[in-house]
Structure 1
Amino acid sequence: MEFESIVGVGAKTAERLAALDDPERALSEGDVAALARAPGISTGRAAAIARAAIRDEHDDAGEFLATDRAREIYRDALSLLQERAVTDHAAHRLETLYPTGSESRVTEVREWVATAMEREPRQDVLDALDGVAPLDDPSRDRIRDRCLATADAERHAEAQDEFPELSVEVVEDARGLADLAKGYSTVIALDEAFAGVDIAGDVQVRPDALETPEEVVPERVLSFFAHNRERLEAAARVHRTTDLDPPVDLARLDEALAGLTEEGTIVGDEELDRLGRAVDDLDAAVSTAESVANDRLREAIEERDVTIEGADLLSLVEQGAGVDSLLSRELADEHAAAIDAARDQLVDSLQLDTGEAELATRAFPEEPTFPVEHDEGVVNRLREDLTAARDRRATRLKRDLATEFADLQAGCDDLVGAALSRDRELAVARFASDFDCVLPEFGGRGVAVEGGRSPLLDCAFEDVEPVDYAVAGPTLLSGVNSGGKTSTLDLLALVAVLAHMGLPVPADEVRIERYEALHYQAKTQGTLDAGAFEATLREFGELVSGGRKRLVLVDELESITEPGASAVIIAGILEALDGETTGVFVSHLAGEIREAAGFEVPVDGIEAVGLVDGELEVERSPKKDSLARSTPELIVEKLATEDATDENEVFYERLLEKFE
């Protein structure tokens, strides 16, 4: 795929995308999480790239939302959908849904939506989704206890790329390997030529090392799973609470994760735990053993009356004898017992095995001394042996567990991906359920809505009055102030946007023509100055040119200039709109516009039934071919029928006649 052919993707972004494992798949599937793994690409940027790639695939120019107000309706609709996603990823992935005139794209989304609407958004599933997120690569820490070695420059470069955590050294011969073995616990030779060399230390010849990274650097796999543990556990819960077929053995995954700490180290192995404790506690255990020996020997000395005849004392002094000689002569048995107690204490406290215990006993020599002191050289050798045994076992366990995780890793990606996909589906299902939505039917001319209720109104959705309205061709919509004209335009815009996104719409039934663009001109606040007025007319000049199928919604265009001029301008715009355009123009000048137009402009009206306690009672569904009465007319009619007296009755009646 030529990345730079995607709108908005330049050379630098293309280079970043190329760094991904499978960028073509991520782009074709709109996988925002995968695209966001590219260096320097944020989640929002990834969503924009995914949308652009989808548009490119469906040959979509991305011109459906033709005005600022149309784009606002889209953003509001998308927000309602995203709010019903549990995970941030699903919310971002939903940004790849957008309104379009491309039939292939709308059909593609509708097929997915039809399945999504069948999902049941149970609370236990939503709870399980909390915590699911795309798997993430943790930072790689430098590993200093092992290195790679090779005599081949090309392989050296390959090894550096594959194992940035390790030092990769160039050696010429076995002597070079031997030198490395003095500074590293493990040296892994990559060349077959080194097979059979006899070198002191842990030197392994692994020509296949580049193909088995989980064995060379098991920490990489382990840290990945430790870092993503909560996400994997949450994804597993989603599969257990839904009908999703897990792509991995969940029991096997649970068991593998149970053997790993949050830091990525091995847990649950008794022998490794024993060796670790022995290394950590060695100094303290030696000190305690010394104290045991000295305490016993001190008690023995205090309890014994040692008598030395003068001749014997003189002889000992002449021989330069000290306390050691006295101990050997007078307290040999007690000293031996104290040393045995020290040895037992050391072996028992560290839980040493037979081989380790044999070395540990030499830490306390049998020669009589007081106070008893350990042999530091023996203790250091014991420390080295225990540390080596611990590290060997940890390395073996790491490799075994890393190999197990490596077998699970591809399935884990699918495990999380399926859970996130279910979140997107449930967001659609919740949206459809919360707003009583149906999939619209495409066909015919114009748009027809039955029982439509807009969730964008500033009130609870259950309090919204349903609206029935059908329109085709240029039409004027009249009605009383605050009667719902603008809300009707918003409903039509929302229905058009959702339908052309491939999503369900908030209505009992909707039939809509396939449009190529939505033009929604919002109400202007106050009369425009000359420059702004000219710019607005330019917009309509572009609107009436061309033959695309469009839905045009205009709210009180007369506010752009003086009422008389506005009526003429609106009439001219209606005349210029071709037969392919569906247009609804809200206006209080419907009568004046109809008179100025060169054709019979249809006028629909949102009728006010009357005034109740000073409040308008309105029939929200527009009435076809009806010029709705204004609020002032209703007030005059109310005064004429309810409050008229002999003195003012004629006055009210004459005012009413003026509205006819």
Structure 2
Amino acid sequence: MDLEDVPGVGAKTAERLRELDDPAGALEREDVAAVASAPGISTGRAARIVRGAIRARHDDPGGFLATDRAREVYDAVLGLLQERATTTYAEHRLATLYPTASASRIEEVAAFAERAHERSLDPSVAEALADVEPIERPDDVTVRDRCLATADAETYQAATAAFPELPVEIVDDARGLADLARGYSSVVALDEAFAGVAIEGDVTVDPSAFDHPAEHIPERALAFFATNRASLRAAAAVHRRAGVDAPLDLDELEDALDDLAADGSVAGDEELERLNVAVDDLDAAVSTAESVANDRLRAAIEERDVTIEGADLLSLVERGAGVDSLLSRELADEYAAAVAAAREHVRDALALRNDEAERAVRIFGDEPTYPVERRDEAVSRLREALVAERDRRAAKRKRDLAGRLADLRAGASVLVRDALELDVELAVARFCADFDCTPAERGGVGFEIEGGRSPLLDVPFDDVEPVDYAVDGVALLSGVNSGGKTSTLDLVAVVVVLAHMGLPVPAESARVPAVEELHYHAKSQGTLDAGAFESTLRDFAALTRGADAKCVLVDELESITEPGASAKIVAGILEALHGAGATGVFVSHLAGEIRDAAEYEVDVDGIRAVGLKDGELVVERSPVKDLLARSTPELIVEKLAGEADDAAFYEDLLAKFDGDGP
């Protein structure tokens, strides 16, 4: 499938997707995180792209949600699913689940939902998931202290593409390599022709460098794992707690991450840490050592009484000698002790090894002077030695660690992706558990719901009364105000939407027709003007075309115009839908009038109101077949007729009602 064949993907978006390692694979496995890693594509946009790819793969033209109210029901159901996700990724990923007429897509999601339903809802897994984020690309890694070199133009182009982090230089001969070695800390020659050539400096010949990039650019692997370190640890914890197989050795991954600092450097190496401290603290240690030596020497001088005879003084003056000669003659031992203390301080403060301590000895000379002063050249040589040793060890540890991590990179990406996908499954599992869902059957004419409870009601789900309702074809639903007619329509819509998403439904059992479109028309807000009324009639005329593939739910359509005309219009619409073999429910307070106006025997179901209690309606929520439900006014008149005062008046009023209810 070409990327531009995906609905919603134009040329610019396709170009961005092509920057992924495997854009087609990402779309095939519905990997929202991978798609979102393409430049300029947000996670929400990625979810829409994946959804378009799903439609293309299943040859789904879309359009199942044919009305605003149908889309509102889907949005509400999706919101309930997303509320049960732990990660933002799962919220976006759940948006790729949508109602469709495609049997293959429904079966695909149903298999996924079956796996999800078997997941254990361990709170510790959700706790670990909270720290899992999609894999991020590290910021551009740039290395400037070393380079690659080649004399071949094609090799140059290949190296530039394969090693964007490193400078790649063109050289003509060994002299060119030597020049590079003077400007870079290390040079890797990519041409076999340079093998055996003696060049001063850190120059290696490695024509196979393309096969093991971690050795020459360890920063690549280290940056990737440092950037995603927290998420990888969390994903490992998710796999352990959930008891699911991991795509790599978790112990090996965690051990390698223990050796990696957050900034991408090597951690946990005591010797490397010692060298880092020694380099950083060298100047301070030497300065303190100077103070130690001078303090001791000053104290020794202050404690000594030095007597110089006249002939000795004259001799010193004639020779041009100064205090140093006097120190050498009179305080040689004290000076040696002061310098020894200074050298010991440097060695101890910097934790120097014996060979390093030998270099540190040269910082302070053996010839007595006052004040005691460092030899800057010796300090510089010690610093160069420490830096060189530090850099050699850091480079080796980087290469070693990068080699370990490079082998884990592919599995690490899958580890995080699997953890995020597990969150999607767990969200579905929580939805099914919270709303007592079971898989629905699809097929046949009409629908049948047993023990259904709508999750859209603004009451705790456990307080929702279960509803049994079945319709064969098109039926009218009657009932008192606030008796549950609209919530029953919502329940039917929820069951139809979820079943066509491939997900279980909130019912003890359910069967829905396999339809291509859901038309749910909400209650109209008042009488329509002539233009809007005409437009509504055109909509229903179009609805009757191909109605056998549609589920139609309509809430009080009669409110669009006068009651007398409404009954005739609704009756005509029912006749057309019935003749076309549609499935539908029309809620109406004019059920009796509509039935009388229709030219076929319309099924009329009623939500039975059994009376009033403390001013509140008492109803049986499950619609009763062949029942024209009584209205609220009738119930109130009936209640008053049973009282002593003015009973005859109320009985006469009650006789005016033509309802068929008991």
Q: What is the TM-score normalised by the length of structure 2?
A: 0.96
Q: 1:385 maps to which residue? A: 385
Cα distance between partner residues in 1 of 2:160 and 2:381: 35
Tell me which residue corresponds to 1:108.
108
1:186, CA displacement in angstroms?
2.2
Between 180-189 and 35-44, report the one with greater CA deviation: 180-189
The amino acid across from 1:74 in the alignment is Y
Shift of 1:548: 4.5
| Correspondence for 2:475 | 475
- Cα offset for 1:58? 1.0
1:404 aligns with 2:412: no
- In structure 2, the residue matched to 1:593 is 594
Amino acid at match of 2:105: R
Distance 2:375 2:199 in 1: 30
Note the alpha carbon deviations across 1:204-255, whole angstroms, 9 max, x for none.
3232333322222212211221221211111111121122012222222221
Tell me: CA distance 1:387–1:490, structure 2 relative to 1, closer, same or farther (3 Å): same
Worse-superposed segment, 382-391 or 540-549: 540-549
Could you tell me whether the CA contact under 8 Å between 2:641 and 2:648 is conserved in 1? no
Q: Could you tell me whether the CA contact under 8 Å between 2:248 and 2:412 is conserved in 1?
A: yes
Summarize deviations over 1:112-167 as a string: whole Å, max 9, x none: 21121111212122222221122211212432322222223333333333333332
Distance 1:446-1:366 versus aligned 2 partners, 3 A rule: same
Deviation (angstroms), 1:411: 1.6
DSSP-derived class of the 1:358 partner? helix
Alpha-carbon distance in 1 for matches of 2:228, 2:124: 22
CA separation in 2, counterparts of 1:130 and 1:659?
Answer: 58
Query: Residue 82 of structure 1: CA displacement?
Result: 1.2
Matches within 5 A, 1:324-343: 324-343=324-343
CA distance, structure 2, for counterparts of residue 107 and residue 286 of structure 1: 75
* 1:583 paired residue number: 584
Distance 1:649 1:531 in 2: 43
Secondary structure at 2:9's aligned position in 1? Answer: coil
Matched, 1:618 2:619: yes
- In structure 2, the residue matched to 1:461 is 461
- Any idea what SS the aligned residue of 2:100 has? coil
Give the aligned partner of residue 562 of structure 2.
562
Contact 1:324 1:370 in 2 (8 A): yes
Q: Which position in structure 2 is the counterpart of 1:58?
A: 58
What displacement does 1:345 show?
2.1
Kindly provide the amino acid, as one letter, of the partner of residue 81 in structure 2: L
Per the TM alignment, residue 104 of structure 1 is displaced from its structure 2 partner at its CA by 1.0
Aligned length: 660
Consecutive unaligned residues of structure 1, counting only runs of 5 or more, are: none
Amino acid at match of 1:625: D
Query: How far apart are residue 16 of structure 1 and its match?
Result: 1.2
- Superposition map of 1:409-488 within 5 A: 409-488=409-488
Question: What is aligned with 1:118?
Answer: 118
Superposition deviation, residue 644 in structure 1: 4.7
Structure 1 distance, partners of 2:40, 2:98, is 25
Q: State whether residues 637 and 656 of structure 1, in contact with CA within 8 Å, keep that contact through their aligned partners in structure 2.
A: no
The whole-number CA distance in structure 1 between the counterparts of 2:554 and 2:132 is 44
Report what 1:628 is aligned to. Answer: 629
* Distance across 1 between alignment mates of 2:509 and 2:51: 29
- 2:141–2:223: 8 Å Cα contact kept in structure 1? no
Aligned mates of 2:658, 2:59 — CA distance in 1: 58
| Counterpart check, 1:285 vs 2:306 | no
Cα deviation for residue 505 of structure 1 reads 0.5
What amino acid does structure 2 have at the position aligned with 1:638?
K
Shift in Å at residue 654 of structure 1? 4.3
Contact 2:634–2:654 (CA<8 Å) still a contact in 1? no
**Post-superposition shift, 1:614?**
1.7
Q: Which amino acid aligns with 1:252?
A: E
Q: How does 1:267-282 map to 2 (within 5 A)?
A: 267-282=267-282
- Checking the alignment, whether the CA contact within 8 Å between 2:548 and 2:580 is kept in structure 1 is no
Kept after mapping to 2: 8 A contact 1:64/1:516: yes
Summarize the alignment of residues 8-19 of structure 1 with structure 2, pairs less than 5 Å apart.
8-19=8-19
1:308: which partner in 2? Answer: 308
Aligned position for 1:360: 360
Paired with 1:634 and 1:478, the residues of 2 have a C-alpha distance of: 14
Distance 1:558 1:60 in 2: 35
Q: 1:543 to 1:417 in 2, by over 3 A?
A: same
Shift of 1:68: 0.9
Structure-to-structure mapping, 1:217-296, within 5 angstroms: 217-296=217-296
Residue deviations 1:581-615, cap 9 Å, x none? 10111111112212222211111111111111221
Question: Which 10-residue stretch deviates more, 641-650 or 242-251?
Answer: 641-650
AA matched with 1:590: A
Residues 405-464 of structure 1 deviation map (CA, whole Å, 9 limit, x = unaligned): 111112212222222222122111111110111111223321100010001011111111
Deviates further, 30-39 or 335-344: 335-344
Contact 2:89/2:133 (<8 A) preserved: yes
Kept after mapping to 2: 8 A contact 1:516/1:548: no
Deviations 1:159-179 (A, max 9, x none): 333333332222223333333
Alignment partner, residue 48 of structure 1: 48
Please give the residue correspondences for 1:19-168 in structure 2 after superposition, counting only pairs within 5 Å.
19-168=19-168
Deviates more, 1:334-343 or 1:80-89: 334-343
Deviates more, 1:351-360 or 1:147-156: 147-156
1:537-581 CA-to-partner distances (Å, cap 9, x unmatched) read 221121111254111001111111122221121111111114431
Residue 497 of structure 1 and its aligned partner are, at CA, apart by 0.2
2:7 pairs with 1:2: no
1:78–1:637 distance in 2 versus 1, CA, 3 Å? same
| Secondary structure of 2:408's aligned partner | helix
Equivalent position amino acid for 2:625 in 1: K
Which residue does 2:639 correspond to in 1?
Answer: 638
User: Are the aligned partners of 1:135 and 1:416 in contact in 2 as well (CA < 8 Å)?
Assistant: yes
Q: Helix, strand or coil: the match of 2:137?
A: coil
Stretch of structure 1 that moved more, 298-307 or 595-604: 298-307
1:314 deviates by: 1.2
Residue in 1 that maps onto 2:322: 322
Do 1:633 and 1:659's aligned partners in 2 also have CA atoms closer than 8 Å? no
What secondary structure does 2:642 align onto? helix
**TM-score, normalized by length of structure 1?**
0.96
| C-alpha deviation, 1:404, in angstroms | 0.7
How far apart in 1 are the matches of 2:644 and 2:223? 84
Mapped contact 2:439–2:503 kept (Cα < 8 A): yes
In structure 2, give the amino acid aligned to 1:559: S
1:606 corresponds to which letter in structure 2? I
CA offsets per residue over residues 58-78 of structure 1, 9 Å max, x none? 111112111111111111111
The answer (yes or no) to whether the contact 2:141–2:219 under 8 Å persists in 1 is no
State the Cα distance separating 1:649 from its structure 2 match: 5.4
CA drift at 1:188: 2.4
| Equivalent residue number for residue 209 of structure 2 | 209
Deviation at 1:26, TM superposition (A): 1.1
Task: Please give the alpha-carbon distance, in whole angstroms, between the structure 1 residues aligned to 2:257 and 2:8.
Answer: 42
> Shift of the alpha carbon at 1:327?
1.9
Q: 1:95 to 1:611 in 2, by over 3 A?
A: same
User: Is 1:648 matched up with 2:656?
Assistant: no
Contact 1:36 1:42 in 2 (8 A): yes
Q: What is the deviation of 1:489?
A: 0.6
Is the contact between residue 644 and residue 652 of structure 1 (CA under 8 Å) also seen in structure 2?
no
Quote the offset at 1:320 in angstroms: 0.9
Q: Give me the whole-angstrom Cα distance separating, in 1, the residues matched to 2:643 and 2:423.
A: 59
Structure 2 residue matching 1:623: 3-state secondary structure:
coil
Shift of residue 494 of structure 1?
0.3
- Displacement of 1:191 in angstroms is 2.4
Give the Å deviation of 1:185. 1.9
